[in-house]
Structure 1
Amino acid sequence: MKRLLITRPLPDAVLAAVDAGFDVDVRRETLPLTPSEMTDALGKYDAILPTLGDPLSDEVIREASDTKCKILANFGVGYNHINVAAAREAGMLVTNTPGAVTDATADIAMTLMLMTCRRAGEGERSVRAGTWEGWHPTQLLGMHVTGKTIGIVGMGRIGKAIAKRAGLGFDMDVVFFNRSKVSDFGVPARQLETLAEVCSTADVIVLAVPATPETRHLVNADLLAKMQPHSVLVNIARGDVIDEAALIAALQAGRIAGAGLDVYEREPIVPDALKALENVTLFPHLGTAALEVRIDMGLMAVANLNAWIASETPPNSLG
């Protein structure tokens, strides 16, 4: 039988769908494998179902001199923790789970936008702390999002889902930046020529790009300076898309009004300076945190594994 390692606990419905041809080990730890554990696993298992944070860098893969693993069926659409080129060179196929995460991640983007613009986090903390003195006309005045302009950076599946929610649900004008031309977004939208133009135009900017070497620190001090003082930045992509130190400086100086973050540059480490800011909404990477979504993601990852063991082409192979 082919040996399969599932690196974190998954819903029972996902485990039940695994092909009977696999001898399955499921780690019970919720933290990622260490590099040495991953190197060891690459030599012991025919297939691995990894997920966010599991270390599959070039160094880890090269360290596994006797690689037995032939497929990495990633649980998640993002795979910046996997050096795909190194995996291929070592004879491993890499797959992911696109589509399953789209709506849930777009919903979290809208939640972060609303909470930050309407200062909901500040209000909730005030109620819990017992410092709320009652309603008054100038209490926690935030930004009314209806009719404002949203700028979406990355008009892929998730970007389009955000555009649909913002345009149809909140009557927002939609502008966006995408490296390639996009013509079908489902709602009225304008593709702007530069990222700087999006930042200077929009009241709310949402990052929905993949994490690649090219997108690391895509939002830096220069780009933050292009944003309007009342604007809000939302990140549901990956943490290192933003230069976190530059964002903290911009927020502390009042150069932008706020930020809504679901991801962090050195996740799960969240800088104390960010936690101290009232104008920031901080989520613990909730993008796909719904049972139905995690089941769908798992079933998609398992479908890739089941196709592989049946000598078929997995439906979501990368490259």
Structure 2
Amino acid sequence: MLLITREILPEVLARAQAEHEVRALNMVGPFDAAKLLAACDGVDAILCNTADKFTAGIINALPPSVKVIATYSVGTEHLDLAAAAARGIKIANTPGVLDRATAEMSLLLLLMAARRAGEGERLLRAGKWRGIAPTFLLGHDVAGKTLGIYGMGRIGQVLARFARGLDMTIHYHNRTRLPPGLEQGAIYHERAETFLPALDFLSINAPGNPSTTGWLNAARLAQLKPGAIVINTGRGPIVDDEALIAALKSGHVRAAGLDVYNNEPDIHPGYYALENAVLIPHLGSATIETRTAMGHLALDGIKAALSPP
């Protein structure tokens, strides 16, 4: 029995129904742990996503029949991995298939923030546009500017390739340096202290873990070049919200483009009043092609976990 917590794409659902007896909860909004646990009788696999917070308490309350939890995501921060391991429950996720879509979102946010597209759309929709003028909503070119990528993994490398097409210079900060063939001329910084002052744009593409939580704090924001633009499609907790909001208000950070947040969907209310913040509701992998591929990869993980050793 496969328990699916949220609505999934028809093609993925059809495969799931062909391979398993399916019980679909179709949750909308906040995760309902009581509803999940009430539906777990006879279940051997669960397909969830990042909105579903599997704490140690929830995992320990699952029936012994549950053998695998697959998540419609790369990240597993919403799953207590230690509790799952202690129960012998395997975890499956979906790396690799969403790299391009997420990099596209990084590029979209970069361009929107640089060209003040969010401000322009809000003005137009409010019926306040009165025509153009030489100084109307002036943004900034991206050609010839420096893009810094914090987290030069698969997504960061795709973003770097896109940005080179816009004639941007690429710098990056990683725990380890990439081989020259993957760097493709990008400039490596071992330390954030040399990385941040060089940048016109900072794109956060790092994974979420204790070492990256709160990485972009007030001290590191102060190291950015005045007027730099910050993009985050990595993980919300990497950014100190209070510090970024203060930097946006002061103008030290010219603009920000955000797709991920702390405490989603209840994000820091300070962002809403900022005209220089482009806010997207976690759509980094939200294409039909990518979400279909993620669903199939999750089902592959479930199949492998339930197969005899």
What code does the residue aligned with 1:23 have? E
Alignment of 1:16-35 (within 5 A): 16-18=14-16, 20-35=18-33
TM-score computed with the length of structure 2 as normaliser: 0.94
Alignment of 1:62-77 (within 5 A): 62=60, 64=61, 66-77=63-74
| Matched residue SS, 1:225 | helix
> 1:13 is matched with which residue?
11
Distance 1:131 1:39, change over 3 A: same
Aligned residues: 308
Verify the 8 A CA contact 1:21 1:309 in the aligned structure 2.
no
Q: CA shift at 1:37, angstroms?
A: 3.7
> 1:301 is matched with which residue?
298
Q: CA shift at 1:44, angstroms?
A: 4.6
- Coordinate RMSD, CA, aligned: 1.7
| Matched residue SS, 2:282 | coil
Q: Is residue 176 of structure 1 aligned with residue 172 of structure 2?
A: yes
Q: CA shift at 1:197, angstroms?
A: 2.2
Q: Deviations over 1:2-38 (max 9, x none)?
A: x111111111110122274521111222335323344
Gaps of 5+ in 1: 313-319
Q: CA shift at 1:165, angstroms?
A: 0.5
Mapped to 2, the partners of 1:196 and 1:48 lie a distance apart of: 43
Verify the 8 A CA contact 1:7 1:48 in the aligned structure 2.
yes
Q: Is residue 283 of structure 1 aligned with residue 250 of structure 2?
A: no
Mapped to 2, the partners of 1:9 and 1:56 lie a distance apart of: 18
Mapped to 1, the partners of 2:172 and 2:247 lie a distance apart of: 22
Q: CA shift at 1:114, angstroms?
A: 0.2
> 2:267 is matched with which residue?
270
Q: CA shift at 1:212, angstroms?
A: 1.1
Q: Deviations over 1:50-102 (max 9, x none)?
A: 1112111223223x174431111111111110121221111111111111110
Q: Deviations over 1:204-256 (max 9, x none)?
A: 00001111122111111111111112100000011111111111111112221
2:34 pairs, out of 21, 33, 36, with 36
What code does the residue aligned with 1:260 have? G
What code does the residue aligned with 1:207 have? I
Verify the 8 A CA contact 2:3 2:40 in the aligned structure 1.
no
Percentage of pairs with the same residue: 39
Mapped to 1, the partners of 2:100 and 2:287 lie a distance apart of: 11
What code does the residue aligned with 1:178 have? N
| Matched residue SS, 2:135 | coil
Mapped to 2, the partners of 1:223 and 1:36 lie a distance apart of: 41
Gaps of 5+ in 2: none
Verify the 8 A CA contact 2:4 2:26 in the aligned structure 1.
no
What code does the residue aligned with 2:97 have? A
What code does the residue aligned with 1:10 have? I
Verify the 8 A CA contact 1:34 1:55 in the aligned structure 2.
no
Verify the 8 A CA contact 1:104 1:288 in the aligned structure 2.
yes
Q: CA shift at 1:270, angstroms?
A: 2.7
Q: Deviations over 1:259-312 (max 9, x none)?
A: 000011111113332111110100011101111111111011111112233326
> 1:315 is matched with which residue?
none
> 1:225 is matched with which residue?
222
